[in-house]
Amino acid sequence: MARVLVVGSGLAGLLAAVRATDTGHRVTLVTKAALPESNTRYAQGGIAAALFPDDSVDAHILDTLRAGAGLCDPAAVQVLCSEGPARVRDLIRFGVDFDRDESGITRGLEAAHSRSRVLHAGGDATGAAIEAALVATVRERANRAHALGGDQITIHEHSMLVDLVVHDGRVTGATLLESGGARPTVTVDAVILATGGAGALYTHTTNPAIATGDGVAAAWRAGAAVADVEFYQFHPTALAVPGTPLVSEAVRGEGAVLLSSTGERFMTAIHPDAELAPRDIVARSIAAQMKAQGGAPVMLDATGLGRELLEGRFPTITAACRDAGLDWAVEAIPVAPAAHYWMGGVATDAWGRTSLPGLYAVGEVARTGAHGANRLASNSLLEAAVFADRAVRALGEPEQQAPRFGDEAATAGYPSGTDLDDELAYELDSARKTIATGVSVDRGALQQLLWEAAGVHRSGAGLTRAAVTLAGWRAADRDTASVAELETGNLLDLGRLIVAAALAREESRGAHHRADFPDSRPELARPHVTRRRDLKSRNLISVSSQPSSPQPSEAIAC
C-alpha cells in the first residue's frame, strides 16, 4: 500500500482521503485553512446526475457536450455522466441528506440542462451539506485509527502547499508552510492535488479568499502540463453587494427573470432559452447590459416565486439579501457577473494522472476535459466525486506510464499541435525571472488587471497590455514568503498563464470571448497545453484515455 499526500479539503480531497484510507493506503491530508473551509462549502446549485426514470446518461452527456462548446473530451464526459449516479449514492451513504418531497429526492432544473436532474441539500446549501458529511467521515476515520494506535490517516490543518518535490522526474512529496512558520517536507509515494480554483485572481468572485490556485501554480512550477487555463467561468448572478455572494442558477431555474435598470426583460431577445441560456451567454449579456446602462447592475426579479418558496428553497440567499438590507420577496435584487469556476488547470487523463509520475489532480484544480470551454451547471461537484474516486482506484493498480499531453493529444481524439506557442511559453518563463528587477506585485492591482483584461470581455490589445504589465511584476522570495505572499506569487504565475493562453486563442469559444475575434473557429476546437520551458523536457509516453487502455478495477461500494 502507498503513502499518499492529499492536498485540499473540499469534496475532491475529502473523498480521495476517505477512499484511500478505506483501501488501505496511509494518508496525510493537508489543508490551508480549517478542514471544513473550501469552495465546496459555498456551492449552492447542487449536484447533477442521471438518477431518475425520465432521464438518462446519454441525455446528460449531450447536455454536457453542448455546454462545453466543442472542447469537451468525449471520453471524460462519458466517465463523468456514467459514473456520476454511483458517486451520488456514495455521498448519500456517507451521510449527505439531499432534500426530499413526496416522490422521493427533490430535483431541480438549471441552465442548459434538458432534464430536471440537479439534487440539492438544505435548499441552497448543497455544498455545505456535502462538506459537513465528508468532514465528519474523515474525522471518524482518523479518530478510529488513532484509537487503535494506527496512523492510517493524519490531518494537518492550517498547512499550505509551498511547492512539489520532484526527484528524477517523479513527484516524491511536497514542502509545506505550517501556521507556526515551520516548512516541513513530506515524502510520499503519490500526491493528490485537490486544491480547488483561483477565484482570487479577480476583483469580483463568488469563491472564498482561500481560492488562490496553489495547486495549479505548484504543478506548473514543477513542470506538469496545464491546459485550457484561458477558460474561466463567470457566474452570471452574484449579488452586487460587498462580498459578492452567489445567487444560484436554480433561482432562474425556478422562474426568476433578469431586468434592465429600467425594468425591461432583455434575455428573451438574446437567446431562445432566455435566462436559462448557457452561463457564458448570460454572463456576457448581463455585462453588455451593464455597460449600456453606465455600469449599474441588472436586476433579478424573483418576486413572482413568493416568499414561502424563496425562504424555504433558498435560505442562504435569503439571508445574504437580508444582510444587505434587501427583501427579494418584494423587490428585485441587483446582480452582476463574478469569477466562479476554472475549467482549465492541471492536465489529467481519465484517472486523474498528470504528466508527472506520482502526481494526481482532482476537482477544480484539474483539467479533465469533462467541462470543455464552459462547464454545465452543477457538474463541478459531480466531477470532484467521480475523478477523486478514480484517482484512488488508479493508485491500487500497477503504475502505468504518465500520460502525454500537447502534441500527443491526438491519442485522446484531439488534433496534434495543441501546445501553446513556444514563444509564449518562453515569455512566461522569462517573466518569472524578473525577481531582481521587477516591481513587487500588489494583489489588488493584479486582481483589477485580470478583471479588466481577462474577465468576461477580452481583446487582443487589452491582453497584450496586461501581459506587459504582468511581466514587470515580481513576487516575494518563496523561501521566506508568508502565506499571503506565497498566495500572491501563485496568482501572479497564474495570471501570466491565463493572459498568455487568452492571447493564443484567437477566437471566441465558451467562457472565452474576444472582441477582436468574436466568432468560434472550427480549426481551433482543441485544447491549449503548456508546460515550463526552463525545465529539462521529460520523456513522456502517450497513454490513450480510450476504453481500450488498461483499466483500473471497479470501485468497491462504501
Does 426 share its domain with 323? no
Residue 462 resides in a domain? yes
Does 421 share its domain with 518? yes
Q: Is 279 a catalytic residue?
A: yes
Total tally of structural domains belonging to the chain: 2
pLDDT by residue for the chain (558 residues), tens only, comes to 899 999 999 999 999 999 999 999 999 999 999 999 999 999 888 999 999 999 999 999 999 999 999 999 999 999 999 999 999 999 999 999 999 988 899 999 888 899 999 999 998 999 999 999 999 999 999 999 888 888 899 999 999 999 999 999 999 999 999 999 999 999 999 999 999 999 999 999 999 999 999 999 999 999 999 999 999 999 999 999 998 999 988 899 899 999 999 999 999 999 999 999 888 889 999 999 999 999 999 999 999 999 999 999 999 999 999 999 999 999 999 999 999 999 999 999 999 999 999 999 999 999 999 999 999 989 999 999 999 999 999 998 887 788 988 644 333 333 333 455 455 555 566 666 655 467 999 999 999 999 999 999 999 999 999 999 999 999 999 999 999 999 999 999 999 999 999 999 999 999 999 999 999 999 999 999 999 877 643 333 333 333 334 344 444 333
Residue 124 resides in a domain? no
Angle between helices 214-222 and 483-504 (to 10 degrees): 70
Does 334 share its domain with 434? no
Cα dihedral across residues 102, 103, 104, 106: positive or negative: negative
H or E element: which one contains 138? Answer: helix 126-147
Residue 152 resides in a domain? no
Does 324 share its domain with 431? no
Residue 290 resides in a domain? yes
Residue 460 resides in a domain? yes
- pTM here is 0.90
> Catalytic: which of 141, 279, 353, 532?
279
H or E element: which one contains 56? Answer: none
CATH of the domain at 429: 1.20.58.100
Point out the domain boundary residue: 321, 338, 355: 338
Point out the domain boundary residue: 292, 316, 338: 338
Instruction: Record the cell numbers describing residue 152, joined without a space.
Output: 492510517
Point out the domain boundary residue: 300, 318, 338: 338
Does 316 share its domain with 423? no
Residue 250 resides in a domain? yes
**159 vs 136: CA distance, rounded Å:** 20
Helix (H, G, I), strand (E, B) or coil at 499: helix
Count of C-beta atoms within a 10 Å radius of residue 302: 23
Residue 404 resides in a domain? no
CATH of the domain at 316: 3.90.700.10
Residue 463 resides in a domain? yes
Q: Which domain holds residue 327?
A: 236-338
